[in-house]
Structure 1
C-alpha cells in the first residue's frame, strides 16, 4: 500500500474513534475525564496525520512533475541523430461498465459497507472514481443506492441489449417518480373560404401521456470466484456487468413489448395498440401474401399520418429466419436486406420476448411495426443494489438453488421506469403469424 493510502486509512480509524466519543454526548451522555483527554489526543493526532498526508500528496505530485524518461540503450556505431525515439504505446480502451462491475465486486467483498468497499477499491486498483463513489453511497430501505454517474453506465449499456431501447425509444427522467407528456389528440380545422365568409372556429384537443415509476427487480447470481478476484481485469468486469445488464434488458423488453399493465408492471406495445391496428395475417402461403401483410403494418401508420421519425420492426427469431430465407420463383432472396437486420428499409429488432406459442394451436406469433421516436421510457436515473451469499433463488425451471451451496453471491438490482407511446396510432401489430412454424 502506498504511503498516501496508508495515511488515509490511519486517519479514517482516528476519525471513527472520534465519532464514537462524540456519539456518547449526542445520545445525552457525558464524557469522563479520561474520555475528554482521549478526545483531545485523537483530535491532535488527526491534525498531525492530515499534515503528513498533505505533504505526502505534494511529494507525489512533485515527483510526477519532475519525472524524466529513462535513457534508451544506444548503439555506439550509429551516428548521433538527436534524442532517442520511443514507440508510442496506445492507452488501453476502458471497458464500458467496468466501473459498475468493480463497484459491485468491492461492495460484495465488503458486504455492503461503503467505507470498507472504498478501501477495497483502492487496494485492488479500481481507481479514484470508484473509490469516491463508494465513499458517498447512501443506504436505502432495500440496499445501496448506486450513484448516478455509475448507474448511467448501466442504462447506456442496456441500449444495445434491449430491443425496444435500441430501436430509438426516447428516455425521460422521472421527477419524483412521475412525468407527464402532453399530446395533441385533435387538430384545428383548416379550409378555404369565400371572400365574404367567416373563418370557421375550431378547437384543438389535447391529452396526456402519464408515466409513473414501476419497480423492476432483477436477481443475478454471480460466482464468488469472480467477485473475489483481487485486481482490475477486463474479462472479469465484462462477465459481471454483462450478467447485470442482460438480466435487466431481458425482463425490461418483455414488459415494454407485451406486459398488459397489471401487477404493477408497465403496459407494453401490444396493449397500447388500438384494436384497429391489430391486423391478422394471411396463411403466408405465397410471397405476395407475406409482402401484402407486411405492407399493411406500415400502411396502418401512414394512414393516420404518423410522424415515422424512427420506425422499426420487432419480431421473434423464428419469424426473422422465415423472412430472411424467403425466396421468389427464381430462387432469389425476397428480402436480402434482412442480412443487415433491415426489412423494407426499416431496422429490425429480434427478440425471444415475442412469443411463438400463441393461439389455439400454440404456434402463433406477432410482428410489431412501431414509430419508436413516438415512444417514451420514463426512468429513475438511480439504481439500487443489494447482496446475499445465503439466499436461494429459482433458476427459471422451477428448481430452487442455494447461493451458499453454489458458492455464489446473489446481486439484486432494482430499477424504476415506465413505458408508453405519445400517440397510440404509432403502433401496429400483425397477429396470428404462423410463418416458420
Structure 2
C-alpha cells in the first residue's frame, strides 16, 4: 500500500475513534480527563496527517511530471516484457455513490463538510464536486445523474426483468406516454377503377408515471470507515445497495398490483384470457410429460397467436419451479429439458427469482410462471437517486425481527428511486398460475 493510502487509512481510524467518543458524550455520558486528552491528541494527529498527505501527494505529482523513460542503447531485450508505469488503483463502477454516502455519513449529513472530507481523503474530484455543488432534497441528498446512471446500469444483471430485455426510458417531469397500435390499418388489393380501402388505424397510449421506491440497506460502520480506501470495500457497499434495490424492483415489475403508489407488474397487466391454470403432475409418465409440454406451448402460443413482436421473449419462474423442470426426466432417464442447464427453455432465456413466491393459492403451496416479450416492456425511470442515512433507526431483518442499527454498529442507508413499469401491448404477456410442481 502506498504512503498516501496508509496515511489516509490512519486518518480514517482517528476520525472513527473521535466520532465514537463524541457520540458517547452526546448520549449524556461524561468523558473522563483521559478521554478528553485522547480526543485532543487524535485531533492534532489528524491535522498533522492532513499536512503529510498534502506533501506526499505533491511529491508524487512532481515525480510523475519529471519522470523520463529509461533508454536502452542496445534496444529492448528480445522476448522481454514491456515496462509500464504502475497502474492506478482499480475503480469500482458505482463506487462514486458508495464514497459519496460514506462522506455524508461521516459529516452527519452536512454536505459541505462531506465535500471537504471527500477532497481530503482522495475520494475523487467527481465525488467532491457533486457534494460541493449539490443540495439536499426533502428526502435526502440527490445523487448526480452520472453517478446514478452507473448504479442503475448495475441493476441489469441483478434483476430478471431488466436482464431479460425490458427497455429503460427516462421520465419527463415524472411522466411518460408511449403510443401503441390497437387496430391495424385496412389493407387489400384493388382493381384499376376501385377505391382504395379506408385506413382504420386505432391508437392507444401506455402512460407511465413516477412511483417512489424506498430501499433500506444496513451497512457495517467498519466497512464505511474504509470506503474510498479499498476498491473491495466500495464493491461490497455497491453490491449491497444494488441487490436491495434490484430485489424490490423485480417484485414491483412482476407482481405489484398498481394500487396506491405501487407500479403494476406483469401479473396484473396480463389479460384474463392470457392467464392459464397449470396441470397437476401427480405421477410422471409419458402422458404427464405431454400435458406439461402442451401447457408450456400454450403460453408461447398465447403470444404468437396475438402476433406479438417476440423481440426479447423469455421466461420467469421461482427457484422451485426451475429446479423441478431442470431435474425432470423421461421414462428412459434422460432429462426432458436439458437446455435449462444453460438457463434456456424451448429456445428462450429463463430468469429465476425468489420474488415469485411459492405460497400462493388457497393451500399456500402454489407458484406462477411467466412468459413475456420483454422487448415490449418499458421501465420509465427518473435518472437520479436520493440517498439518506440514519445510525439510530430500526429495521426488520429477513426473519421479521426488529433490529437496531445503533446496537449493531451499523448505518442504515435509504435509497429512493422513482420509476414505473408497463408493457406496450398487454397481449405480450402470458401467465401460468396454480403451479405446484416440485413442492
- Normalised TM-score (structure 2): 0.81
How far, CA to CA, are the matches of 1:252 and 1:231 in structure 2?
28
CA deviation after TM superposition for structure 1 residue 59, in Å: 10
How far does the alpha carbon of each residue in 1:181-217 deviate from its partner, in whole angstroms, 9 at most, with x for none? Answer: 0001111111234454433323111000000000000
Partner-residue secondary structure (3-state), 1:323: helix
| Ranges in structure 1 where 5+ consecutive residues have no aligned partner | 3-56, 73-79
CA deviation after TM superposition for structure 1 residue 363, in Å: 1.3
Q: Give the alignment partner of residue 306 of structure 1, picking from 299, 305, 308.
A: 308
CA deviation after TM superposition for structure 1 residue 58, in Å: 11
**In the alignment, what sits opposite 1:258?**
255
How far does the alpha carbon of each residue in 1:209-245 deviate from its partner, in whole angstroms, 9 at most, with x for none? Answer: 0000000001111111111126521221111111111
Query: Is the 8 Å Cα contact of residues 206 and 423 (structure 2) preserved in structure 1?
Result: yes
**In the alignment, what sits opposite 2:230?**
233
Q: Give the alignment partner of residue 167 of structure 2, picking from 147, 170, 180.
A: 170
Q: Give the alignment partner of residue 142 of structure 2, picking from 141, 145, 170.
A: 145
CA deviation after TM superposition for structure 1 residue 401, in Å: 1.5
Note closer, same or farther for the CA distance 1:67–1:322 as it changes in structure 2 (3 Å cut): same
**In the alignment, what sits opposite 1:67?**
67
How far, CA to CA, are the matches of 2:197 and 2:75 in structure 1?
86
**In the alignment, what sits opposite 2:28?**
none
How far does the alpha carbon of each residue in 1:336-389 deviate from its partner, in whole angstroms, 9 at most, with x for none? Answer: 111111111111000011111111221111110000000000000111111111
How far, CA to CA, are the matches of 1:83 and 1:187 in structure 2?
70
**In the alignment, what sits opposite 2:410?**
408
How far, CA to CA, are the matches of 1:149 and 1:141 in structure 2?
21
| Ranges in structure 2 where 5+ consecutive residues have no aligned partner | 5-56
**In the alignment, what sits opposite 1:273?**
270
Note closer, same or farther for the CA distance 1:231–1:183 as it changes in structure 2 (3 Å cut): closer
Query: Is the 8 Å Cα contact of residues 277 and 300 (structure 1) preserved in structure 2?
Result: yes
How far, CA to CA, are the matches of 2:411 and 2:105 in structure 1?
8
How far, CA to CA, are the matches of 2:63 and 2:87 in structure 1?
24
CA deviation after TM superposition for structure 1 residue 399, in Å: 2.0
Query: Is the 8 Å Cα contact of residues 217 and 241 (structure 2) preserved in structure 1?
Result: yes
How far, CA to CA, are the matches of 1:70 and 1:127 in structure 2?
31
Query: Is the 8 Å Cα contact of residues 124 and 230 (structure 1) preserved in structure 2?
Result: no
Partner-residue secondary structure (3-state), 1:126: coil
Query: Is the 8 Å Cα contact of residues 287 and 326 (structure 1) preserved in structure 2?
Result: no
Note closer, same or farther for the CA distance 1:298–1:231 as it changes in structure 2 (3 Å cut): closer
CA deviation after TM superposition for structure 1 residue 167, in Å: 0.5
Query: Is the 8 Å Cα contact of residues 312 and 347 (structure 1) preserved in structure 2?
Result: yes
CA deviation after TM superposition for structure 1 residue 150, in Å: 0.6
CA deviation after TM superposition for structure 1 residue 393, in Å: 1.6
Partner-residue secondary structure (3-state), 1:333: coil
CA deviation after TM superposition for structure 1 residue 308, in Å: 0.2
Q: Give the alignment partner of residue 242 of structure 1, picking from 239, 242, 260.
A: 239
Q: Give the alignment partner of residue 342 of structure 2, picking from 340, 343, 346.
A: 340
How far does the alpha carbon of each residue in 1:268-294 deviate from its partner, in whole angstroms, 9 at most, with x for none? Answer: 000000000001121234221111111
Note closer, same or farther for the CA distance 1:91–1:294 as it changes in structure 2 (3 Å cut): farther
Partner-residue secondary structure (3-state), 2:155: helix
How far, CA to CA, are the matches of 2:227 and 2:160 in structure 1?
35
**In the alignment, what sits opposite 1:180?**
177
How far, CA to CA, are the matches of 1:71 and 1:225 in structure 2?
47
CA deviation after TM superposition for structure 1 residue 109, in Å: 1.1
Query: Is the 8 Å Cα contact of residues 164 and 349 (structure 2) preserved in structure 1?
Result: yes
Q: How is 1:279-428 mapped onto 2 (pairs within 5 angstroms)?
A: 279-284=276-281, 285=284, 286-428=288-430
Greater Cα offset, 337-346 or 87-96: 87-96
How far, CA to CA, are the matches of 1:293 and 1:354 in structure 2?
19
Note closer, same or farther for the CA distance 1:65–1:91 as it changes in structure 2 (3 Å cut): closer
Partner-residue secondary structure (3-state), 2:91: coil
Partner-residue secondary structure (3-state), 2:370: strand
Q: How is 1:144-223 mapped onto 2 (pairs within 5 angstroms)?
A: 144-223=141-220
Query: Is the 8 Å Cα contact of residues 98 and 227 (structure 2) preserved in structure 1?
Result: no
Q: Which has the larger radius of gyration?
A: 1
Query: Is the 8 Å Cα contact of residues 99 and 228 (structure 2) preserved in structure 1?
Result: no
How far, CA to CA, are the matches of 2:96 and 2:197 in structure 1?
61
How far does the alpha carbon of each residue in 1:47-91 deviate from its partner, in whole angstroms, 9 at most, with x for none? Answer: xxxxxxxxxx9999776433225799xxxxxxx734787544566
Query: Is the 8 Å Cα contact of residues 259 and 268 (structure 1) preserved in structure 2?
Result: yes
CA deviation after TM superposition for structure 1 residue 146, in Å: 0.4
How far, CA to CA, are the matches of 2:277 and 2:395 in structure 1?
40
Greater Cα offset, 168-177 or 110-119: 110-119
